[in-house]
Chains A and B, each alone.
Chain A
């Protein structure tokens, strides 16, 4: 059989085998850096996509988990495009370059990347402005700690995460000037054994409130719970199920509305690329319910802080010094949202080296 006939036959087979495809309004592809069952980052992304799928009829969702932040990602996304995807969500920071490469190749496909900064006509960037949202978390931690040592397990030490730590510390010290934050970096978004060891190390150093910015809060929270210390969750508010006794509060992403809106705009042909950064109160971030351990007075303080942030308070306003004493922000200066990725210093009260 000639090659041409073989190809035609193959095409017919493909066509014949997938009749349902013709009815889909939109095929959406999504790549996750880890497993969606992580009570964390990937779970939140999945929940958002599920909400989108329910809100918009006729969406076919293609998903791939455990897609590494290397050139492999390009292969997977291209595969999805071959399967007809016209909207791709590249959900992890390290997927950016590869999604961008493909965006140049496929001008008819829309790409949305989470957490980066690149933009093109068919490439948008979205994330929640997490940094300021950590401020109320710090308030909770600062009030609840008895040892005045707070522990933070950080995954990959990018500027955005350093900003999270800083806001956390600023919030804690706003209600408890003696509070200190100790940071341990695991070097990876998801290395469970290291996270467990890091959490243990922090608790050994006296931390009695533990929090984290890694993909899955599960391990850190479980370690904290098993050693009887408080925990503050991140990524997904479902994580509170892991710590019935020690849960204080937490932050979770709610991507549903944004993803739904994006899908609708792609279907309508009205997609406009943007650098979307929504803070607390704008729909992408939610504060988890309080744990039983948190007294009324503290709840009030935390909610007041949440309100303050939602109304536009920027914790990164001068005068502000880093933890070596050097002045970083003078009176009247402030760091805007666009500068959040540039952090390479910790504020006073954080024990650790950022660079």
Chain B
């Protein structure tokens, strides 16, 4: 029995976009605090590998998620130490983390390659379909993050730090501490994003399996205007780009997968040009210490 096309595409997009969403949310939190993490891909890889390793070792995929979250957090804290504690260049530090992630994930995942694990089970929690836990929690996570950033004092302080750390400091906040907290949360989410790939989607570990999703997430943060709710829409759009072309193939219609995958990036660039034109920038002013935004 075949599902209607739209439903199938939606289902695929959701499945595809979930890991993207978590990673985007993770990057978003850090960037709201003024820190751009180009090494998100590395964090996702570490999360995927650690999650898979832990699941294989302990036999429980939920433990795997926890392990992935912790590993991602550790990675991001490393970035934090170098950037906040040592004042290093954010881009270079991010790329260093990227390399670190490739290497560490390979080392962690290698002994477990080919292991058969019970992946995250699909739960039919509503009649929308049967998805794994992380999919069900994705939207709530985005909502929670939105509340956290826009409706709590912590979030207000965070945004202040992201706009102007000096002013925030003068107002009695501790920018460094807030940035560490943001990075910890971000790493947690990024690691979970990676885990969804290895524990739910592919149910295996392979070197470099994130295939650039970390970078897509970085673009998504911009697409989402640093707002968790828009991030959900963005993750669906980016997820749909891949899902759509595979679903179309399964139906016998051929669309170039490469052209389809290009669209979200070009879309993001177009949106940025539009913002620049209308002088609207939603970016935290001190993001990357004046890399972003236009001088």
Contact = CB atoms under 8 A, between A and B. Distances in A.
Q: State yes or no: do A and B touch (Cβ within 8 Å).
A: yes
Interface of A: 34-39, 43, 66, 147, 149, 151, 182-187, 190-198, 200-202, 204-206, 216, 218-219, 222-223, 226, 241-242, 351-353
Nearest to B112: A37
B201 A193 contact: yes
A184 B114 contact: no
B1 A196 contact: no
B74 to A, nearest CB: 24
Interface in B198-236: 201-204, 206-207, 209, 211
B3 interface: yes
Nearest to B117: A222
Contacts of A194: 242, 246
Given A35-B206, A193-B211, A241-B116, A201 B201 contact: no
Contact of A206 (B2, B116, B249): B2
Query: Which 6 interchain pairs have the tightest Cβ spacing?
Result: A37-B114, A206-B2, A192-B202, A204-B8, A351-B252, A37-B113
7 contacts: A34-B206, A66-B207, A182-B250, A194-B242, A197-B243, A201-B250, A353-B252
Contacts of B207: 35, 66
Given A38-B114, A196-B202, A219-B204, A206 B1 contact: yes
Nearest to B242: A197
B108 to A, nearest CB: 14
B50 interface: no
Interface stretch (B10-18, B25-33, B168-176, B277-285): B10-18
Nearest to A35: B113
B114 A197 contact: no
B181 interface: no
B257 interface: yes
Nearest to B1: A206
A117 B81 CA distance: 54
B16 A197 contact: yes
B178 to A, nearest CB: 34
Given A193-B197, A205-B251, A149 B2 contact: yes
Contacts of B8: 201, 204-205
Nearest to B16: A197
Given A192-B209, A204-B12, A206-B1, A184 B250 contact: yes
A204 B247 contact: yes
Given A197-B15, A226-B122, 12 more contacts: A147-B2, A192-B197, A192-B201, A192-B202, A193-B202, A200-B12, A201-B250, A202-B250, A205-B247, A205-B251, A351-B252, A353-B252
Given A197-B16, A206-B2, A353-B254, A184 B249 contact: yes
Contact of B243 (A34, A149, A201, A206): A201
Contacts of A34: 206
A190 B116 contact: no
A211 to B, nearest CB: 14
B119 A222 contact: yes
B257 A187 contact: yes
Main secondary structure of the interface of A (DSSP, over half): mixed
A218 B252 contact: no
Given A37-B113, A185-B249, A204-B250, A197 B201 contact: yes
B114 A39 contact: yes
Contacts of A186: 246
B133 to A, nearest CB: 14
A151 B206 contact: no
A15 to B, nearest CB: 32
B202 A195 contact: yes
Nearest to A187: B257
Contacts of A195: 202
Nearest to B249: A184
A330 B197 CA distance: 48
Contacts of B113: 35, 37-38
Contacts of A147: 1-2
Contacts of A205: 2, 8, 247, 250-251
Contacts of A149: 2
A208 B209 CA distance: 27
Interface in B231-276: 242-243, 246-247, 249-252, 254, 257
B12 A197 contact: yes
A183 B122 CA distance: 25
Contacts of A200: 11-12, 15
A192 B204 contact: yes
A39 B203 CA distance: 13
Contacts of A206: 1-2
Interface in B101-126: 113-116, 119, 122
A191 B211 CA distance: 8
A185 B250 CA distance: 9
Contact of A201 (B122, B247, B254, B257): B247
Contacts of A196: 201-203
A43 B113 CA distance: 12
A201 B201 CA distance: 13
Contacts of B3: 204
A149 B252 CA distance: 13
A285 B145 CA distance: 54
Nearest to A227: B122
Contacts of B116: 218, 222, 241-242
Contacts of A66: 207
Nearest to A154: B249
Contacts of A352: 249, 252, 254
B16 A204 contact: no
A204 B2 CA distance: 6
A209 to B, nearest CB: 14
A198 B246 CA distance: 6
A193 B114 contact: no
A201 B246 contact: yes
